[in-house]
Amino acid sequence: MIEVSVADQLDYYLTSLDELGEVLIDADQPGSVGKGILRLTLGTVMASKGAIFLYHQKKDKLTILASQGLKERTPFSPPKKLKSQSEKYRHDHINIDKIPPWLTGELKSCINELGSKILVPLFHKDHLLGLLCVGKKFMGESYTGAEIKILEIIANHLTKALYNYKLIQDVEDKQNQLNLKLLELETLFDISVAISSVLDVGELSDEILWRSVGILNASKGMMLIPKENSPILEPNSSFNWDDMDALLSKKLAVFKKVEDEKSGLILTPENKNALQKKLGEDHVIIAPLQTKDNTLGYMLLCNKESRHGVEAFNQTDLDLLTALCNQGAVALDNARLFKDITEAKQFNESILGSIATGVITLDTLGEIDSINQAGQNILKMGMDEIIGNHYMFLFEKDEEILELIQKSEVENTTHSEINMSFLTVSPETVVNVSAAPRIDPDGNIQGLVIAIEDITDVSKIKNTFKRYVSKQVVDELLDDDAKLNLGGEEREVTILFSDIRGFTSMSENMNPENVVATLNEYFSDMIDIVFKHNGTLDKIIGDELMIVYGAPISADNDTQRAVVTAVEMQKQIERLNEQRKKRNEEPIMVGIGINRGIVVSGNIGSRDMMDYTVIGDAVNLGARLCSAAGPGEIYVSPTVWKETKTKFHYEKLNPIKVKGKKEKVGVYRIDWSA
C-alpha cells in the first residue's frame, strides 16, 4: 500500500475545500450545488455512494436533492424522531454502523440502499435543513478522524448553501405571493374602473365572474340572480359551466344563510349540502352580491385548482371573493340604476313626445335644455334653433309670456294664462301657457318647465260656433269630440222658424239705419233666448231665424226647449214692443213654426264657404208652419204637440195644405199667454 503523507493529505483536503468554494460560487441552482457538493464530498472521503436530503419543515417531508447510488424517490415522511434525535448531533455526525431504532421508514430504506456509515444533520441555528448521508468508504476502510472532520466542514458549508437557497426560495415565494396579491389588487382596481365605464349589466356580470374565477384559480363559476317575482335563481353569467341544468331556488338553506348573515361560505366535501348535491360539486365557495339594502344575487365558484388537483378554498379566498362581490354589487347596482334611469327617461320622453302640449325645460340660467316634439311643432322651429337659446330671446315678441315666466322664476310658484296670442309664431296663434319651477329630489330649484298648449283650432271652433250655439254647447262639444259629428248624418231634430210679419213693408217707411238697429235689437234679444235654451242658430235670413234643437248635440228635451224658446220669444217681443211704443216705433209681430223630424245634418257648402246646417222635409215643414202662423202666433206640428201636450196649452186647428205635401198636415197653436 502506498503511504500518504500528512502533508499530502492536508494538501488534498485544502484542494477539496477550494473546489467546494468554486462549486458554491459557480452553481446557481440548488440541484447543481447539491450534486457538486455530493460529488466533492464522496471524492474527498473516498466513498462511492451518498445522498443529500432536503427537509421541508412546513410539509414535514424529505426530498432527495442529490444522490449517487440511490433510486429516485418522491418526497417522503421522515422518521418521527428525526428532528429530536438529530439535534443531539448538531455540529457533529451520527455514526450509523448500526442503524439506531429511531431511524425508520423510507429514510432507513435509503440508508440501507446506500450502505451508509455516516449521517450528518445539517442545522442552521434551530432549523434542520437536511441530511448528508455518506456510504461506506472505498474498500470498506474506516473513516479517519481527519476525514470525519473534513466531512463536518463540508457539511457546514453545505448547510450555509442550503440556508441561502432556502432564503432565496423564500424570497421567490414571497415575490410570487406579492405578484398574486398585486394581481388581486389589479383585479379589484379593474372592477372599480368597470363600475364607472361598463354600464351593460350582462357585460359587467361576465367581467366580474371571469376575473373572480381566474384570480381564485377556480375551475368554473356562475353568477346567480333571482328571477323577478320568483324564488328561482338564474345564471346571469357562467364560466366553464355548460351543463348547468339544476333548478336553484333562493330558498335553499345555503342561500338563506348567506343572505341572512350577509357573508359568504366555503363548502367542503365533508358536510355536503343540498346545493353541492344539486351541482354535483365538492368544493364550492359562495358570496353574496350585497348592496346596502339588497342581496342582488350570488357568486358561486367551484374547485380551487392546484398543480396537483383540486383543493379546498380557504378564508383568504373567501375574503377576496367577498371583496370582488362587494365591488361587483356596486357595479351591477349602478348598471341597473342606469338601465332604470334610461328606461324611465325613454318612458318620459315617449310620454312627452306623444302629448299635444309643448313642454320646454329651462336650466337655472334660463337657457332651454329640452323640448318635446309638440313644443317644436307649436313653435314651428327645429331642435337646433331652440336648445341652448335663452327664453328671453325665444319669446322676445311675447311680453306677456316673458312676464309669466319671470313671475314663476322670482316667486318659485306655478303661473298660467289662457287664450294668449302667441306672437312668437303668429298673431293668429292662440295658446295656454304655464310656467312651473323644476325641483330636484332635494328640493332645489333646477330651472323651469314651460307648458304651451296650442288652442288656435279650439279658439277658431269657439269663435265659429259661438255665433251659432251657446257657450255651454261649445264647451260640451270641445270636451267630448265624440258628440261632434260634422261630417253628415241623419238625426231627429226639432226646428224652429220665426219671421217678422210685414217687416218688408214696415222697413219701407224706415231709414236704413233704423232698419239695421231694429233688426239688431230684435235678433240680439231673440238669440239670447235661443242660447239660453241651448238652441243652435242655424241661419238668419233677412228677418227670419232658423233654430235647431238636437244638432250638433241632441238631448231628451230638445222639443220642449224649442217650445219654451218660442214662448219666451213672443213674451220678449211684447216687452220689446212696449219699449218701441215709448219710442214711437211700430210694434214688431212675429210668427213662429216648430216641427220635429228626421233631417240630414253636417257641414254643407263649398270648400270656401261651408256651414253647419240641417236639411230635409222636416225643415221645410217647420218653415211652412212659420209662414202659416199669424202675428204673435206659434204653430207646431203634431209630432211637437205629441211630445209637449202635457206641458203647454194647445188649440188644435184645421189641417192646412202646405207646399210639397199632398196631404194636409195637422196644426196646433200654443196658448202662450197662459
CB of 120 to other proteins, least distance (A): 31
Pick the closer one to other proteins by CB: 190 or 367: 190
**H helix intervals, 308-415:** 315-354, 373-379, 383-386, 391-394, 399-411
User: Quick one: 293 exposed, middle or buried, by C-beta within 10 A (0-12, 13-18, 19+)?
Assistant: exposed
8 A C-beta contact, residue 596 and residue 559: yes
Written as nine digits, the cell of 355 is: 302629448
Minimum distance, C-beta of residue 268 to other proteins, in the bound complex (Å):
19
204 interacts with other proteins by CB under 8 A: no
Binding flag, residue 192, other proteins (CB under 8 A): no
Is 180 a binding residue for other proteins by CB under 8 A? The answer is yes
Q: How far is the CB of 194 from other proteins (least distance, A)?
A: 11
Report in angstroms how near the CB of residue 312 gets to other proteins at its nearest.
Answer: 15
Residues 305-344 that bind other proteins (CB under 8 A): 305-307
Of residues 239-278, which lie at the interface with other proteins (CB under 8 A)? Answer: 239-242
- State the nearest-atom distance from the C-beta of 186 to other proteins, in Å: 6
Among 63, 219, 291, 456, binds other proteins (CB under 8 A): 219
What angle (nearest 5°) sits at the alpha carbon of residue 96, between those of residues 91 and 97? 135
The answer to the question of residue 190 lying near other proteins (CB under 8 A) is: yes
Task: Specify the stretch interacting with other proteins by CB under 8 A; choose among 85-93, 213-221, 342-350, 432-440.
Answer: 213-221
Measure the CA–CA gap between 251 and 274, rounded to whole angstroms: 11
Q: Is residue 179 a contact residue for other proteins (CB under 8 A)?
A: yes
Three-class secondary structure of residue 578 per DSSP:
helix
Could you say whether residue 163 binds other proteins (CB under 8 A)? no
Separation of alpha carbons 277 and 347, rounded Å: 45
User: Closer to other proteins at the Cβ: 41 or 327?
Assistant: 327
193 binds other proteins (CB under 8 A): no
Torsion of CA 377, 378, 381, 386, to 10 degrees: -110
Question: Of the ranges 79-87, 177-185, 467-475, 652-660, which one interacts with other proteins (CB under 8 A)?
Answer: 177-185
Distance CA 489, CA 480 (A): 18
Please tell me whether residue 210 binds other proteins under the rule CB under 8 A. yes
Q: 450 and 435 in contact (C-beta within 8 Å)?
A: yes
Q: Which of 217, 326, 376, 424 binds other proteins (CB under 8 A)?
A: 217
Site for other proteins in 627-646 (CB under 8 A): none
* Percent of residues in the chain assigned helix, strand, coil, to nearest 5: 45, 25, 30
Part in contact with other proteins (CB under 8 A); list of ranges 282-290, 300-308, 432-440, 650-658: 300-308
- Closest CA relative to residue 391, chosen from 417, 364, 412: 364
The least distance separating other proteins from the CB of residue 4, rounded to whole angstroms, comes to 41
> Judged by CB under 8 A, which of 14, 171, 182, 598 binds other proteins?
182
Told to check if 211 binds other proteins by CB under 8 A, we report yes
Phi-psi region of 488 (alpha: psi -120 to 50; beta: other; left: phi over 0): left
Residue from the set 54, 131, 133, 213 that interacts with other proteins by CB under 8 A: 213
The window from 180-188, 496-504, 542-550, 652-660 that contacts other proteins (CB under 8 A) reads 180-188
Decide whether 12 or 210 has the Cβ nearer to other proteins.
Answer: 210
* Interacting residues of 93 by C-beta distance below 8 A, sequence separation 6+: 118, 119, 120, 148, 151, 152, 155
Give least dist CB 302 to other proteins, A.
12
Q: How far is the CB of 247 from other proteins (least distance, A)?
A: 20
Q: How many CB atoms lie within 10 A of CB 43?
A: 13
- Considering the complex, state which of residue 189 and residue 393 has its C-beta at the smaller distance from other proteins: 189
Say whether 469 sits in a helix, a strand or coil: coil
- Nearer Cβ to other proteins (203/340): 203
Report whether 284 contacts 267 (CB < 8 A).
yes
The residue among 328, 155, 317, 300 whose CA lies nearest residue 240 is 300
Binding site for other proteins (CB under 8 A): 175-176, 179-180, 182-183, 186, 190, 210-211, 213-220, 239-242, 305-307
